[in-house]
Amino acid sequence: MSDERSIEDVLARYVRATDRRDGAAQAALFTDDSTTQIYTRTGPAAWEPVGDPLLGPAAVRYAVDTFMSPHPPLGSSHHVTANHLVDTTGDTAHISAQFVVFEVRGAERPATGWPAGTLGAQGTVRPVESGYYETDLRRVDGAWKIFRHEVRMDLPMALPGA
C-alpha cells in the first residue's frame, strides 16, 4: 500500500472508531507524545481552542470513552471525509480532510409490523457536524501514527468544563 493510501487508512480508522465510540481503537492510532486539539470557528478563517489539548493516547481514549454520548437504540453516527490532501516527507506526513458527521436514528418497528405500503429505510439521517481535520503523522515501526491532530469545527462546540 502506498504511503498516501496508508495515511488515508489511518484517518478512516480514526473516524470509524469515533462512530463506534471505541476509545481503545482510536487511541491505538496515536503516538505516545501526541497532541490533539479541538477548535471552533470564530470567523471566516479563524478558530479558537475548545478545552485543553489531549496529550497522548490515554487522553484520547478517556475523551472518547467519557465525553462522547453512547448511541441510543437503533442509533449511530457516520463520519464522511473528503478532499484528502496528503503530503509526505520521509517518515512524516500531513493530511488535511473535510468531514461531515451524520446522526442516524432508526425508527422502532411497530409490534404489529410495518403498516401496509411502508417501503425502504425507516428513520432519519441528518448532518450534525462539519469541519476539517489537520493531522500530522509519523512512521513508527513501519506504521503511520498521529502525533498532532487538530479538529477544526465549523460550528460552535460545547465540552464539559469548557
Q: Are strands 92-106 and 75-89 parallel, antiparallel or unpaired?
A: antiparallel
Query: Tens digit of pLDDT for each residue in 115-154?
Result: 999 899 999 999 999 999 999 999 999 999 999 999 999 9
Task: State CA 41 to chain mean position distance.
Answer: 17
CATH architecture assigned to 3-106+122-153: Roll (3.10)
Region for 79 from its dihedrals, namely left if φ exceeds 0, alpha if ψ lies in -120 to 50, beta otherwise: beta
**CB 128 within 8 Å of CB 104:** no
Are 75 and 105 contacting, i.e. CB atoms less than 8 angstroms apart? yes
| Torsional class of 27: left (φ above 0), alpha (ψ -120 to 50), beta (otherwise) | alpha
Per-residue pLDDT tens listing for the chain (162 residues):
899 999 999 999 999 999 999 999 999 999 999 999 999 988 888 889 988 999 999 999 999 999 888 999 999 999 999 999 999 999 999 999 999 999 999 999 999 998 999 899 999 999 999 999 999 999 999 999 999 999 999 988 776 655
Q: Give the number of C-alpha atoms closer than 13 A to the C-alpha of residue 30, restricted to the C-beta side.
A: 24
pLDDT score recorded for residue 51: 85
- Gyration radius (Cα) of the chain, Å: 18
Give me 53's grid cell.
489539548
CA angle 84, 27, 79 (to 5 degrees): 40
Domain range list for the chain: 3-106+122-153
pTM as predicted: 0.91
**Strand, coil or helix: what is 126?**
strand
pLDDT reported for residue 162: 52
